[in-house]
Structure formats: structure tokens, C-alpha cells
Amino acid sequence: MMLETMVLGLSVAPALAFVQWQAMRPLSAWARVALLSVAVVPLYLLFAGLLVIASALATRALGWRSPVGITARLTEFEWPVLTWGRYLMTIHVVRVFAGPAFRASPIWSWYLRLNGARVGRLVWVNSLSVMDHNLLEFGDNVVVGADVHLSGHIVERGMLKTARVTLGPGTVIGTGSVVGIGVTTGPDVQVGALSVIPKHTTLEGHASYAGIPVQRLH
């Protein structure tokens, strides 16, 4: 909570400084309203951009990352579980405040990279349900569709399990699909909308898949 309070405070400070500055200017009421109305969107984008940077740099400096390949009981608050929880909390705050502005843009891909993911060139992520960034690896030209659930963790019977997820170059994950932990795709894989890729599944490259669970189409 202390970290998020500081990160949010630093990020919103320039916007508040602008509001304070215009309040001290000799402007009429209508001019003040007009100025603030025009400034709302730029100030929000400034806040969101600073939040992306500050949050990612903070987690990097503190070493907060999702542990790789663990199986731990959630009720036992060991350091790997606590570190995972802190890391996901920072990701959640960014996706709530900055995600709506930057999703499916180069800025969002850059944030994922800055926050620990391995992201290639021309990667487009149009989902806010992407977690455990340091456990994700996306090759060049990967597209993650809207509302895709993709993370490096799963909770089963009170046990936290983590594993890396690797999407090969040219992979396209359709809208609303679910990608399990430990999934690996070859190059140029197409996954249809609303599909489920079970955990620890390997999809061969240059093929299309769909279904629950996914089946190869051709």
C-alpha cells in the first residue's frame, strides 16, 4: 500500500500542479472551465504514462517478480507467495488506471517489456487480463486479442502454481481465449476466439487451432 500510494502520488502530481497553476491565473470563470475541459485528456494521458513508468521501475528496483516454476500453498505466507502478490497488485493498479488508454498500442507492449516480459517487435496486446509479466515471452508479430486471459500462474485446490508462457513469432490468440500456464506455441499459430489452451500444452507451428480444449483444424 505504501508503494502504490507513492507511485500514484508521483504520477498524479503534474496534473494537480497544473490545476493549482491555472487556479492562480487571472482568468474568468468561463475561461477557467474551458482550460480545464481541454486539459482533461492530456492530463489523464500524462498521469497514465507516468504511472506505467513509475510502477515498472519500482517493481524492477525492488525485485518483485512472479517466482518461476513453484508450487506453494496460498495459506502459507512464504516470501515467494508474498512477492508474487505484491507484483500482481502493481500490475492490477496499472491496468485499471492506464490500461484503458494504452491497451493495443506500442506503449502497452513497451510497458510489458519494462515490467519484465520478453516482448518482440510489432507485438499487439489488446487485453488487460495479462498477468505475471516476467513469465511471458512473445515473439515478433504476436497478437493477443481482446479479453484474452493469459498469465503465468494458476491456483488449484489452494495451491499456487507458476510456469512460463511462450508465444512463438506470428502467433495470434483470438478474442476471449484462455491460455494456461506452461503453454508454448510454434511460429504462425492461429488460435480461434473463445478457445481454451490447457496448461502445459505445446501447439505446433504453422497451424490453426480452436475449441475447448483447442484442437488442430489444419
pLDDT digits (tens, 9 = 90+) for 34-47: 888 999 999 999 99
pLDDT at residue 44, rounded to an integer: 96
Q: pLDDT tens-digit profile of 166-177?
A: 999 999 999 999
For the chain, give the mean pLDDT: 94
Give the domain CATH number at 197. 2.160.10.10
Q: Tell me whether the omega of the peptide bond preceding residue 100 falls within 30 degrees of 0, making it cis.
A: no
- 102 with 115: CB under 8 angstroms? no
Domain of residue 53 covers: 2-216
139 vs 137: CA distance, rounded Å: 7
pTM as predicted: 0.91
Question: Taking a C-beta distance cutoff of 8 angstroms, is the pair 194, 175 a contact?
Answer: yes
Predicted confidence (pLDDT) at residue 28 exceeds the cutoff of 90:
no
Q: How many domains does the chain have?
A: 1
